[in-house]
Amino acid sequence: MLRKCCFGFAISLVLLAGCNSGRCTVTGTVTYEDGTPVESGSVIGEATVDGKLVGVQGTIKNGAFTWGGAKEGDGALPGHYKVIVVPISLSEYQLGQGMTPAVDGKFGKYETSGLSFEVKPGKNEFPIKVTKPKNSRREQQR
């Protein structure tokens, strides 16, 4: 009986160790050049890890985002990530009314964002600076 109990405990330890699966939590902020936070949206990254394309996403809330950390085993695998920032999308109706997205469109494409981050084991902090769209209504209201 004791042998079965110890064997079950050993199996549990092995499974728990595998839950982390080498993923790392990344925290960061998304701010404009003047330091004000981007209120909402997503920070999305993609990397090739061990020959496979992997992705990770975090929600922006009042300028802060996290990749992982919500539960055991989530987060980003170590690697070099291309990154995009996607604000909450506006409907076609809102765009037709002259409203513009909160972030310059170049940050929504991997080819033009200019953002990248290397995730390493341990603590990862990724501050992101973005610009507002040119000729946005927000700039006109200043």
pLDDT tens string 82-95: 999 998 755 444 55
- Outline where 21-114 has alpha helix (H): 92-96, 110-113
Instruction: Tell me the residue type at 127.
Output: P
Return per-residue pLDDT of the chain as tens, 142 residues. 444 443 343 333 333 333 346 889 999 999 999 999 998 889 999 999 999 999 999 999 999 999 987 666 678 999 999 999 998 755 444 555 555 568 898 999 999 999 999 999 988 999 999 998 876 444 444 4
- Is the pTM higher than 0.85? The answer reads no
All structural domains of the chain: 23-133 (2.60.40.10)
Does residue 69 come out as left (phi exceeding 0), alpha (psi in the -120 to 50 range) or beta?
Answer: left
